[in-house]
Structure 1
Amino acid sequence: MKMNSSSAKPLVFRLTRGADLKQSILTAIQNNDIKAGCVASVVGCVSKLVIRLADGNSTLSREEDFEIISVSGTLTPEHAHLHISVADAQGAMLGGHLCDGTIVSHTAEVCLLVFDSYEFSREPDPDTGYTELVIRQR
């Protein structure tokens, strides 16, 4: 694997009560014409959590207060591949693939990194059965 040097520029914003976390990140990608990026940090709370589990098919939906512990993922112009981990009121952790319908309860502070010298896309991979990340230098 060859390492390429590239600078990243930040894009930061705050979401408020009722915002759909994943859809809000997708809107930021589109509004800022992001060709390649990643999530640096998300801090906040959600009142509804919708995640796809590790088996790749099952989803879990819960309506209760959760503290966002981390969000990570890659950003392409059409897609945000995001994973989330949260803690419930007792501190028990849940995590998985972030799905539409995860709703911010109070606030979510979102920090993204944008890579201007790259272009990310997703293409079908017959080995995994999913669309996988394709990286091109611009």
Structure 2
Amino acid sequence: MEALRLQPGDDLRGALQKLGRTGFVVAGIGSLAQAQLRFADEPGPAHLAGPLEILTLCGSLTPDGAHLHASVADATGRVSGGHVCMGCVVHTTAELLIAPLPAGSLTRAFDATTGYAELVVRAPPADLG
């Protein structure tokens, strides 16, 4: 497992995609100055004004992109959740736990059925040792 801390002003999705890593975000907490979340079956993201607390964050990371979901709470405790889009800006911190996987074990490819770049799982090479 790897721990990672994002800084104020970082774009949550952008920073994770920039890593170019393969693996899963298994946990995330922190705060956002604002969020852009796409709700189920909606064509685009909804803007949520902050400050917001990150209650949950998880998803998959590939060199081809990230698929992340989060739930956030506003100052009244109202909770919203959805697909993390660009524009989720870290307010004070974002603390993440990442489970790395071997390079090449996960990629993304366009799926005509869903209309999205979906996860492709590839078997890791056999250990010849």
User: What is the TM-score with the length of structure 1 in the denominator?
Assistant: 0.83
- State the identity as a percent: 36
Deviation at 1:118, TM superposition (A): 5.9
Secondary structure of the structure 1 residue equivalent to 2:122: strand
Deviation at 1:56, TM superposition (A): 3.7
Are positions 1:135 and 2:121 aligned together? yes
The C-alpha deviation readout for 1:3-55, integer Å capped at 9, x for no partner, is xxxxxxx2211112111111111122x2xxx2x31001111000111111211
Query: Which consecutive residues of structure 1, in runs of 5 or more, have no partner in the other structure?
Result: 1-9
Are positions 1:26 and 2:17 aligned together? yes
Equivalent-residue separation in structure 2 for 1:136 and 1:56 (angstroms): 30
> What RMSD, in angstroms, separates the aligned Cα atoms of the two structures?
1.5
Task: Name the structure 2 match of 1:115.
Answer: 101
Are positions 1:104 and 2:90 aligned together? yes
Letter aligned with residue 114 of structure 2: T
Deviation at 1:58, TM superposition (A): 3.0
Letter aligned with residue 12 of structure 1: A
Query: Which consecutive residues of structure 2, in runs of 5 or more, have no partner in the other structure?
Result: 125-129
Structure 2 residue aligned with 1:72, among 58, 72, 86? Answer: 58
Task: Name the structure 2 match of 1:14.
Answer: 5
Off by >3 Å, runs of 4+ in structure 1: none
User: What is the TM-score with the length of structure 2 in the denominator?
Assistant: 0.89
Letter aligned with residue 111 of structure 1: L
